[in-house]
Amino acid sequence: MGNDDYAWAGRVADKIYEKMKMSVMRNRDKIPYLAADGIFDDWSDRISWWTNGFYGGQLWQLYHAYGDGIFRQAAKNIEDKLDQGLADYMGMDHDSGFKWLLTAVANYKKTGSARSKNRALLAAANLVGRFNLAGRFIRAWNDKGNGDTAGWAIIDCMMNLPLLYWAGQETNDPRFTQIAKAHADTAVKAFIRENGSASHIVQFDVDTGKIKGTLGGQGMETGSSWTRGQAWAVYGFALSYRHTRIEKYLETAKKAAVYFESCIPGNGIIPVDFCQDKELGWEDSSAAAIAACGMLEIETHVTEEEKGFFHKTAMKLLKTLEENRSNWDTDVDYIIENCSVAYHDDKHNFPMVYGDYYFTEAVFKLCGKELFLW
């Protein structure tokens, strides 16, 4: 990495710190997800929501890098609140990694808390319980009343497998890793298309395990390219390689990353779906931040000749976000602007807490301040 990028990241990390020092004072009793008029909302009363670990994760990153106790205390508050979700079977789904790696595992890594380790192991045990043996996949969401989702798996789940790799290592029990690898093996074949683009949802027959079809999910349509899903593929497969050293996961991560790079518009702004009409102007900055984290992870595993491509792509995404899609006003809670949950939603281009989380993680990676949590 060039000294310029290291220095740039150091400056941006300090700006994140200046913002978060103020944000945590205002939001230490909340679990933020979205923001209106610069003020974070609070999801403490919707405790099973999948994004409820990200603010805690960002606070642990800040605590690790800058040491202010208030970051740690506020992160612990969130972790305590999540216990209610851990006890609610129907509230638990494939997203336990997002929730407990960034809270309980972070706490355990920083403080050695036995309580935190126990929480994360319970979450991992629940996650392996979602494995469908016939199709060799981890089931995504629970039924919404009509029993139609038992055979659904989603690309996002690749990001939750690190909870299982962690649990396998902590307990010295190979079951966790075996199931993570089985899901990743299925995902290589079922989700990644010939050109490197990823499906969001794959539907399996729950009894035979045969693939019934794919769905566009949060993207535009079946066969299109939802950008955040593509970013989950880039980072998720790279992380599975990091934990297993299985070459096909790295090859899949690279293929997904090369596709992502080939679709980045000249201005570096990432749309909600790479196939959408260019005139729409619907963006997803969170996809840019997640993909940047994935590119930086891949960079650490490839040859000297290959590194430049992934590093340059990450820098383009991150510098575009910093210059064009960041709010540095310390009275405003969020940092990253213009994210979108899904193509077919009524609203687009607003701040979401995980845009901030992944931007922070990527910047901290670049300047050596990161607490590695995946």
Site for ligand GLY, rule CB under 6 A: 50, 156, 218, 228, 341
User: 95 or 299: whose CB is closer to ligand GLY?
Assistant: 95
Rounded to an integer, what distance in angstroms lies between the CA atom of residue 244 and that of residue 223? 30
**CB of 358 vs ligand GLY, minimal distance in Å:** 11
Quick one: tokens of 22? 């103020």
CA 52/CA 166 separation, integer angstroms: 20
Shortest Cβ 216–ligand GLY spacing (Å): 13
Cβ atoms of 289 and 270 within 8 Å: the answer is: no
Whether 95 sits among the annotated catalytic residues: the reply is yes
Position with the least CB separation from ligand GLY: 156
Can you tell me whether residue 67 is helix, strand or coil?
A: coil
Question: Rounded to the nearest whole angstrom, what is the least distance from the CB of residue 136 to ligand GLY in the complex?
Answer: 21
| Least Cβ distance, residue 251 to ligand GLY (angstroms) | 24
Cβ contacts of residue 68 below 8 Å, gap of 6+? 21, 62
Q: What is the largest CA-CA distance in the chain?
A: 55
Residues 6+ apart with CB under 8 A from 266: none
346 in catalytic set = no
Would you say 284 or 333 has its CB closer to ligand GLY? 284
Tell me if residue 198 falls in helix, strand or coil.
strand
Q: Which is nearer to ligand GLY, 190 or 231 (CB)?
A: 231
The least CB distance from residue 82 to ligand GLY, in Å, is 17
* Burial annotation 92-110 (CB, 10 A radius, 16+ → b, else e): bbbbbbbbbbbbbbbbbbe
Annotated catalytic residue, options 93, 156, 273, 284: 156
32 burial level (CB within 10 Å; 0-12, 13-18, 19+): buried
Of 29, 42, 88, 95, the active-site residue reads 95
Closest Cα partner for 131 from 123, 143, 140, 119?
Answer: 140
Determine how many CB atoms are found less than 10 A away from the CB of residue 368: 12
Long-range contacts from 167-172, C-beta under 8 angstroms, 24+ separation: 167/120, 167/121, 167/124, 167/125, 170/117, 170/121, 171/121
DSSP 200-230: SEEEE-TTT--EEEEE-TTSSSTTS-BHHHH
Q: Is 35 strand, coil or helix? A: strand
Compare residues 228 and 325 and give the one whose CB is closer to ligand GLY: 228
Q: How far is the CB of 227 from ligand GLY (least distance, A)?
A: 10
Instruction: State the nearest-atom distance from the C-beta of 148 to ligand GLY, in Å.
Output: 18
Cβ proximity of 170 and 121 under 8 Å: yes
Catalytic residues: 95, 156
